[in-house]
Amino acid sequence: MLIGALLVAFLLSIFLTPFVGKLAVKLGATDKPNERKVHIKIMPRMGGLAIFLSFFITFLIFTLITNNFLEQLPLLVGALVIILIGMADDIYELRAAPKFLGQILAALIIVLWGGLEVKFINLPFFTDTLHFGIFSIPITILWIVAIINAINLIDGLDGLAGGVSTIALVTIATMALIKHDLFVAMAALIVIGSTLGFLKFNFHPAKIFMGDTGALFLGYIIAVLSLLGYKNVTMVSLIVPIIILGVPISDTFFAIIRRIVNKQPISAADKSHLHHCLLNLGFTHKQTVLLIYALAACFGLAAIIFSFATMWGALILVAGLLLIIEIFVEKIGLVSSNYQPLLKMLNLKNKP
């Protein structure tokens, strides 16, 4: 059934994407080149609608078969809210405030109606449990909104957000199968099939962009699925979804640091994200995307290893990952060309 769900979603996405592309052009949902973007011609966006429709139809079929459609209705309603916000932004280019409010509304639906809530964690080396109490709902909402925006920020090259999201979802599906959580595995595989079908048209050179419609939806579904099965667990287990999403989370984190260092508003757009830095180093468009895919796959593998490690092994793995991330960030100039504290300390700084 799981492979069948993936194949149905994949075929639906391949079928629907060309029609969504034509609809995007008719509605004026097009992406025009500017100084921050790497494409040089007007492109249809809103392609994420094809991903969502493929997911929705397949999800509907298989949840009806398994008789748990009503149970999963909050997830779909939250996804619908995100899709409407994304479509409105792709057509009308919304301001940040309504987009942010829409994301919070979608998160509230899955948290308050769907019951997705991280209530407590067990801390390593301590016998006590840390209960979040009244902060459990805000923390869960913050996670969902943060991941939505992390995926949105990394959507800067053909096939980049779709591929990174697919790798994260493959990891989530693998972890779910290991834990015998068939619902999360099925949902993840349906989104994987939907995204892979879209990537046929979105990989470089792209014929259509997913737009905010796709990036917001993928961020939402990844945020929700990554929490399902990891709520109310140990600190070690809670770190797993963070590692799975290491690439978009790292890019977002260092984008915030970069803007603070440069005394810019945190919401300010720039052309210094991970993919921009790799392009500036001389990598081609396709090489940059494949390199980031490889990084995402490494994070996914690390997450799986992490879940089986002992407490000390897990801590050593996290420390190693953080060290590697910092060296990589300093090497490519993700914060700024002058930000190299660790490289200077190790006498490995880039030569001018």
C-alpha–C-alpha distance, residues 62 and 1, integer Å? 8
Among 7-21, 37-51, 268-282, top mean pLDDT goes to: 7-21
Task: Report the predicted TM-score, pTM, of the whole model to 2 decimal places.
Answer: 0.89
**Which residue bears the tokens 């019951």?**
115
Token digits for 25?
């052009």
Alpha-carbon dihedral angle through residues 9, 14, 16, 18, given to the nearest 10 degrees: 160
| Residue among 118, 127, 103, 164 at smallest CA distance from 289 | 164
Taking only the tens place, the pLDDT of each residue in 193-250 is 999 999 999 998 899 999 999 999 999 999 999 888 665 455 555 677 788 888 888 8
| Residue among 242, 245, 300, 217 at smallest CA distance from 118 | 242
pLDDT at residue number 288: 92
Taking only the tens place, the pLDDT of each residue in 74-133 is 999 999 999 999 999 999 989 989 999 999 999 999 999 999 988 877 665 555 677 788
Taking only the tens place, the pLDDT of each residue in 260-273 is 877 777 767 677 78
Token digits for 44?
């249809």
Q: pLDDT tier at 157 (50, 70, 90 boundaries)?
A: confident
pLDDT at residue number 36: 54
